[in-house]
Amino acid sequence: MFKKVLIANRGEIAVRIIKACQEMGIKTVAVYSEVDRNSPHVQIADESVNLGDPTPSESYLNIAKIIESARNVNAEAIHPGYGFLAENPDFAKACADSGIKFIGPTPEVIRLMGDKIEAKKTIASANVPVIPGYHGVKQDLSTLIKEAKKIGFPLLVKATAGGGGKGMRVVHAEAELEQSIESAKREAKSSFGNNSVFLEQYIDKPRHIEFQILADEHGHVIHLFERECSIQRRHQKIIEETPSPVMTKKLRDEMGTAAVAAAEAVGYTNAGTIEFMVDGKQNFYFMEMNTRLQVEHPITEATTGVDLAKWQLRIASGMELTLKQNDLVQRGHALECRIYAEDPSNGFLPSIGTLEKVELPIGPNIRNDTGVETQFHISSYYDPMLAKLTVNSENREESINKMIWALSHYVVLGVTTNISFLKKVLEHPEFRKGNITTHFINDYFKDWLVTKEGLPMDAIIALAVYDSLHPQRQEIVRYKEADPHTPWQHVGRWRMGR
């Protein structure tokens, strides 16, 4: 096993990986940009390296700086987390070239799966179904428009190097096509440095269901069942659960087998996820493979009892998988909510500010993954996800009720968050019934507003109480003038602590 690992990430995922390492007796090195100097991930790590300039390309995306940091501290391996350099084959290659173990698959596999077109071709050859579309190399506007018309509308424009909904547009009519392609290309260019896109038929009543894979470096591949990730906004997941309410034993066996076949077809190693689209008739299609630990991995951990981050470390250090497919069971039901600093009543725009107060819900089977704390400043440099909240119970209904309780006790003050929105989604009768598709938010929450009714009476009462307990300076002066016998007359200069 490694003695020292550098974690090339920030926020909750860096914290989660550092904790896994520390439990296993591995020393940890955090990296941070100037604005993250006091972040929780830096505080809990055994060592830390300042990457300087907070611009991602100068810090968490800077391959040279990170490799140099790892060398300077004698780290044997680098865990990339998710996002940033996690799916960058050049980074994995640079690690290998420097004699540092990259905790993930090989650069070749990352490159292959990162190219969505080649990935589909390869996976299709392993007899896994894929969605019809244009995956050609000709990227000029007229070719794309011609191919789009062939596929028909609605269709999806997607960045070839994409992921996480970035560089992705749904086109409903020909009139929107040109602007959508241009915008997707720009976003792809700025996020992934590659502006190539592909087009795809848009599936009706689609569910996004993915399978977790673990593969060691000795040819063993297993899957750890599904995750239903259909609740998305801006094509990014916000609520995930397992098992999927639509899953049958037959479909699970078929999809699980396909997922393992897909991983085997590319010689996959370490933790990965095969994403499928499932339509209203339970047909499933391969969408893409994420060659990293997923954001939503805690729900799999909660229902299988397997620690995915620790297995990543074990596999990377050359250990064999001791987990056998037939020994794995899914127990109960788990649900995850992503807590974002964003405004659901204003197009989910990111919200910036200082967290004045953070108090997390605590209780049986409630897991908090967080990389922020009180007084942390949310800047526009990085993704606005603050934390993840995971709960698990005997069944889906109990999980939903537990999650609603937990969200009701989740205090984040200082920025606008999606917490009350998440609660409303969970309370929705169609969600409770399990009738969800990737259009759920658009279908039921398009013009959602947090406070249609205005300020509730309880809030007014609380404010009035608070303000009379914390009078402002001019009010103190007013009291003095009004009452010459008040004790305020004698206290002199002072201020209320916050």
Asked if 413 is part of the footprint of other proteins (rule: CB under 8 A), the reply reads yes
Q: Which two tokens stand for residue 475?
A: 């009010």
Of 196, 417, 437, 438, the one binding other proteins (CB under 8 A) is 417
Asked if 412 is part of the footprint of other proteins (rule: CB under 8 A), the reply reads yes
- Distance between CA atoms of residues 108 and 42, nearest Å: 31
Q: Which two tokens stand for residue 457?
A: 């009476």
Least CB distance to other proteins at residue 111 (A): 21
Q: Cα-flanking dihedrals φ and ψ of residue 455, to 5°?
A: -75, 125
- Distance between CA atoms of residues 299 and 150, nearest Å: 40
Handedness of CA 177, 178, 183, 189 (dihedral sign): positive
What x-and-dash track marks residues 193-232 binding other proteins by CB under 8 A? ----------------------------------------
Residue labelled with tokens 């005997």: 394
Asked if 407 is part of the footprint of other proteins (rule: CB under 8 A), the reply reads yes
- Does the bond joining 132 to the residue before it have cis omega, within 30 degrees of 0? no
Q: To 5 degrees, how large is the angle CA 397–CA 399–CA 401?
A: 70
Asked if 498 is part of the footprint of other proteins (rule: CB under 8 A), the reply reads yes
What x-and-dash track marks residues 119-158 binding other proteins by CB under 8 A? ----------------------------------------
Least CB distance to other proteins at residue 89 (A): 20
Of 156, 213, 419, 425, the one binding other proteins (CB under 8 A) is 419
Count of CA atoms in the C-beta half-sphere (13 A) of 36? 31
Asked if 456 is part of the footprint of other proteins (rule: CB under 8 A), the reply reads yes
Asked if 353 is part of the footprint of other proteins (rule: CB under 8 A), the reply reads yes
Burial of 418 (0-12, 13-18, 19+ CB in 10 A): buried
Of 317, 350, 444, 488, the one binding other proteins (CB under 8 A) is 350
For other proteins, the closer CB: 172 or 357: 357
* Beta pairing class for 27-33 and 4-7: parallel
Least CB distance to other proteins at residue 327 (A): 40
- Distance between CA atoms of residues 4 and 74, nearest Å: 7
Of 43, 72, 408, 486, the one binding other proteins (CB under 8 A) is 408
Asked if 354 is part of the footprint of other proteins (rule: CB under 8 A), the reply reads yes
Helices 116-124 and 249-265, interaxial angle, to 10°?
110
| Amino acid at the residue 158 | K
* Beta pairing class for 385-393 and 366-370: antiparallel
| Binding positions for other proteins, 163-192, rule CB under 8 A | 166, 183, 186-187, 190-191
Asked if 442 is part of the footprint of other proteins (rule: CB under 8 A), the reply reads no
396 included as an active-site residue: no
* Candidates 115-123, 254-262, 321-329, 449-457; binding stretch for other proteins (CB under 8 A): 449-457
Query: Would you state the torsion angle of the CA atoms of residues 463, 465, 469, 470, taken in this order, to the nearest 10 degrees?
Result: 10
Tell me if 228 sits within 8 A of 208, measured CB to CB.
yes
| Amino acid at the residue 69 | S
Please identify which of the residues 292, 314, 338, 396 carries the catalytic annotation: 292
Asked if 477 is part of the footprint of other proteins (rule: CB under 8 A), the reply reads no
Least CB distance to other proteins at residue 28 (A): 26
Enumerate binding residues for other proteins (CB under 8 A).
Answer: 166, 183, 186-187, 190-191, 234, 343, 346-347, 349-350, 352-354, 356-357, 359, 380-384, 407-414, 416-417, 419-420, 423, 450-451, 454-469, 471, 475, 497-498
Q: Which residues are catalytic?
A: 292
